[in-house]
Amino acid sequence: MLDHFDDGELTTISFSNSPPPPPERRQNLRHVTVLRVAKLQTPRSEELCLVRNISAGGLMAHIYSELNIGEPVSAEFKSGQAVSGRVLWRRDGLAGIQFDEPVNAAKVLADSHDYAPSSQQPRAPRVGIDVKARIRVGARYHAVTLCNISQSGGRVSPGEPLETGQKLILMLNGLPPIAGSVRWSDDEHAGIAFDNPIAFEALARWVPTMQAQARKRQLASNNDTPDERRA
């Protein structure tokens, strides 16, 4: 579980121009320890990852979906820096990403407040998603679409306007009910702040699971014939 960290779970900045190799072949380079998470943009979706090592040439991260070797990805950090590259290797839930161009690793991780995820530090990036859900406001239930989510909040598209400050419960398949309140609302969307952040690993595993299910539903729908859809 990644809700608590020891020295073996810290991200390192390597003073090397090469992308990080798999763990058993890591060189003993000088490094400084920080804690970072990132959002990965893949050809299929967005997802969260936990970065273990970063250098000018690439990074090594815990991943929670089936990335393919050679696949193009983009890693976005809370600093606002987005770095493109390709999956170089995969092993035991880890992936090595080689950047398309060398980067300034310290600049990529410039935001000193973007610490690694835990139940006490809800700093994970927000990922886009399209999931049907329900919210309960008092005794009433509303159908909504979850548009994006982070450890500390999310954006929904409700069937009717929500009032700023309203207390609610967000119910999502695969996660326990989440208590929160409406932070903002307009004609189309509402922002929800969670009372307690979602544990990072639970969210990181949940996101690709929901996205894979959505892709399967879309594929099945596309394969239906007009007669099958009318039946």
Q: What is the pLDDT of residues 14-24, one digit of tens each?
A: 656 677 777 65
Question: How does residue 73 score in pLDDT terms, banded at 50, 70 and 90?
Answer: very high
Question: How does residue 33 score in pLDDT terms, banded at 50, 70 and 90?
Answer: very low
Q: Which of 5-19, 70-84, 167-181, 213-227 has the lowest mean pLDDT?
A: 5-19
Give pLDDT, residue 108: 84
3-class SS letters over 141-197 = EEEEEEEEECCCEEEEEECCCCCCCCEEEEECCCCCCEEEEEEEECCCCEEEEECCC
CATH number at residue 177: 2.40.10.220
pLDDT, greater one: 81 or 164: 164
What one-letter code names the amino acid at 29? L
Asked if residue 163 is part of any domain, the answer here is: yes
Residue for token pair 């990181």:
204
Does 157 lie in the same domain as 77? no
Give pLDDT, residue 29: 41
Asked if residue 28 is part of any domain, the answer here is: yes
Does 136 lie in the same domain as 98? no
Is the pLDDT at 153 greater than 90, yes or no?
yes
Is the pLDDT at 131 greater than 70, yes or no?
yes
Does 20 lie in the same domain as 97? yes
Give pLDDT, residue 1: 44
Is the pLDDT at 103 greater than 50, yes or no?
yes
Mean pLDDT, to the nearest integer, of 173-182? 97
Mean pLDDT, to the nearest integer, of 144-155? 95
Is the pLDDT at 168 greater than 50, yes or no?
yes
Give pLDDT, residue 226: 57
Give pLDDT, residue 84: 96
Does 190 lie in the same domain as 132? yes
Does 103 lie in the same domain as 141? no
User: CA-CA distances (angstroms) from residue 68 to 11, 148, 201, 211?
Assistant: 23, 24, 21, 16
Give pLDDT, residue 15: 58
How many independent structural domains does the chain possess? 2
What's the mean pLDDT when you consider all of the chain? 82
Mean pLDDT, to the nearest integer, of 121-133? 78
Asked if residue 137 is part of any domain, the answer here is: yes
Does 70 lie in the same domain as 144? no
Does 91 lie in the same domain as 12? yes
Mean pLDDT, to the nearest integer, of 77-95? 91
Range of the domain at 95: 7-108
34-50: pLDDT as tens digits: 458 899 999 988 999 99
Give pLDDT, residue 181: 97
Burial 212-231 (b: 16+ CB within 10 A, else e): eeeeeeeeeeeeeeeeeeee
Give pLDDT, residue 223: 78
Give pLDDT, residue 3: 44
Does 98 lie in the same domain as 32? yes
